[in-house]
Amino acid sequence: MKVLVINCGSSSLKFQLIDSDTEDVLAKGLCERIGIDGSQLVYTPLGGKAANHDKITTVTPMKDHTVAVSLVIDALTDQDNGVIDSLKEIDAVGHRVVHGGEAFSTSVVIDEKVKDAIRDCSDLAPLHNPANLIGIDACEKLMPGVPQVAVFDTAFHQTMPEKAYLYGLPYEYYEKYRVRRYGFHGTSHSFVSARCAEILGKDIHDLKIIVAHLGNGASLSAVKNGECVDTSMGLTPLEGVIMGTRSGDIDPAIMQYIADKDNKTLNEVMDILNKKSGVLGLSGGFSSDFRDLEAGYNKGEANCIRAIETYCLRVAKYIGSYAASMNGVDAICFTAGVGENGPMVRRKICEYLEFLGVKLDSEANSKRGEEMIISTDDSKVKVLNVPTNEELAIARETVRLTRG
Ligand code: AMP
């Protein structure tokens, strides 16, 4: 089967065409600045007759997502640089949908009722869900009859028990407004924990795994016997560990305090917490990118040292708390941009965890981006580097639900 995986943002659309039989990526790309001046399609053919691996950038107007999807289809079927002969070769479309609320604990084939339910969750993800729906509508219009599947960022976390997902707030806010912890990056947490069990040659139902998805956005999850029992992101992706530009957990009273001191509105403070905080804020605005921070750290720059040290302690504290909530831990997996490529960050986090029996193999840990066990043979808790692959996970879900 050939599956088109779509990840729609409000002004962007990322895609991959995956051959599910070989799990090869045939082509991938990105439409940027949809609905804005200067929109462009960046397309990379990777398989078939056009397997030249060169990026092709086309600057062209895209007034909306329907135009963007039609340009993607044109690129995929282009005589010279396409990877399929016709649109008919696309057997199914898998969409990343950010928020499924409590309605979805697994992926689903999209119909009108599913779209209504995604719309109902828009309050919880106002930037993402409407964009995801626009992408779904655009694909339905241009590929009528091709099955479409929604894969939710929140679904994997729906197994969390009430005691893990409730906040210490008046219960009526949960009853009236569904204020609770939902968690995000679920596709990645699910993919990485399953892969961890495969690498260790163990049944996931016998394992306690902590996944540290450390990218620009970052979240951790506790996966016990194959089910998520806790996760660090909450009602929104702002809660939890310190991220690239997001604050993660803070004392909520800080919001009022800053608003009063700096004469700011709540929306302005929220903007600071989302876009100007995290390691970017801690480094005094230097960078949200760990490549820059690591370089600064190695030169002894105080702002970079401050950012990395504060970040690593926070992640370590989450891992410690998840070892407590699962009453043990067999494996810790690092994934996503920083987790997969950051030996310094992994080492610093693991130094806090020696009391659990974590022993890092410094040679294995020095590698970047490779799937491997990075703890020593005698480490009581296994530590792994597991590159995530959310697109492949979405393609697999799409095949599972649509293969006749
Ligand atoms: P993601 O959101 O998973 O794409 O992760 C993006 C982040 O990964 C970037 O902002 C960087 O901070 C980090 N990153 C990517 N490559 C490297 C690298 N080679 N070394 C350290 N950090 C990296």
Per-residue pLDDT tens digits for 272-304: 999 999 999 999 999 999 999 999 999 999 999
Residue among 30, 275, 282, 289 to mutate when testing ligand 1 (max atoms within 8 A of CB): 289
User: What average pLDDT does range 51-76 have in this prediction?
Assistant: 90
Query: b vs e for 231-241, b when ≥16 Cβ sit within 10 Å of the residue's Cβ?
Result: bbbbbbbbbbb
Dist CA 204 CA 225 (whole Å): 6
Per-residue pLDDT band at 52 (split at 50, 70, 90): low
Dist CA 42 CA 40 (whole Å): 6
State residue 125's pLDDT score.
Answer: 86
Would you mind telling me the total number of residues written for the chain in this entry?
404
* Residue 153 falls in the annotated catalytic set: yes
State residue 53's pLDDT score.
Answer: 72
Q: Where are the domains of the chain?
A: 2-152, 202-385
State residue 80's pLDDT score.
Answer: 87
- Indicate whether 101 pLDDT > 90: yes
Secondary structure of the chain in HEC code, one letter for each residue: CEEEEEEECCCCEEEEEEECCCCEEEEEEEEECCCCCCCEEEEEECCHHHCCCCCEEEECCCCCHHHHHHHHHHHHCCCCCCCCCCHHHCCEEEEEECCCCCCCCCCEECCHHHHHHHHHCHHHCCCCHHHHHHHHHHHHHHCCCCCEEEEECCHHHHHCCHHHHCCCCCHHHHHHHCCCCCCCCHHHHHHHHHHHHHHHCCCHHHCEEEEEEECCCEEEEEEECCEEEEECCCCCCCCCCCCCCCCCCCCCHHHHHHHHHHCCCHHHHHHHHHHCCHHHHHCCCCCCCHHHHHHHHHCCCHHHHHHHHHHHHHHHHHHHHHHHHCCCCCEEEEEHHHHHHCHHHHHHHHHCCHHHCECECHHHHCCCCCCEECECCCCCEEEEECCCCHHHHHHHHHHHHHCC
Residue reference for tokens 């005094």: 284
Query: Which residue in 78, 116, 153, 378 is the catalytic one?
Result: 153
8 lines ligand 1 (CB under 6 A): no
The answer to whether the predicted template modeling score (pTM) of the entire model surpasses 0.85 is yes
State residue 9's pLDDT score.
Answer: 82
Portion of the chain with pLDDT greater than 90, in percent: 92
Per-residue pLDDT band at 13 (split at 50, 70, 90): very high
Identify the residue whose C-alpha is closest to ligand 1 atom 8: 337
The listed CATH number (3.30.420.40, 3.40.640.10, 3.30.9.40, 3.20.20.140) that belongs to domain 202-385: 3.30.420.40
CATH 3.20.10.10 fits 2-152, yes or no: no
User: What average pLDDT does range 28-51 have in this prediction?
Assistant: 89
341 lines ligand 1 (CB under 6 A): yes
Cα(53) to centroid(ligand 1), Å: 22
State residue 315's pLDDT score.
Answer: 98
User: Helix 343-351 to helix 290-298 angle, to the nearest 10 degrees?
Assistant: 70
- For 130-179, what is each residue's pLDDT tens digit? 999 999 999 999 999 999 999 999 999 999 999 999 999 999 999 999 99
Portion of the chain with pLDDT greater than 70, in percent: 99
Identify the residue whose C-alpha is closest to ligand 1 atom 17: 341
290 lines ligand 1 (CB under 6 A): yes
State residue 11's pLDDT score.
Answer: 87
Cα(260) to centroid(ligand 1), Å: 35
User: What average pLDDT does range 47-72 have in this prediction?
Assistant: 86
Question: Are the C-beta atoms of residues 345 and 337 closer than 8 Å to each other?
Answer: no
User: What average pLDDT does range 103-124 have in this prediction?
Assistant: 95
Topology agreement, domain 2-152 and domain 202-385? yes
Dist CA 44 CA 264 (whole Å): 44
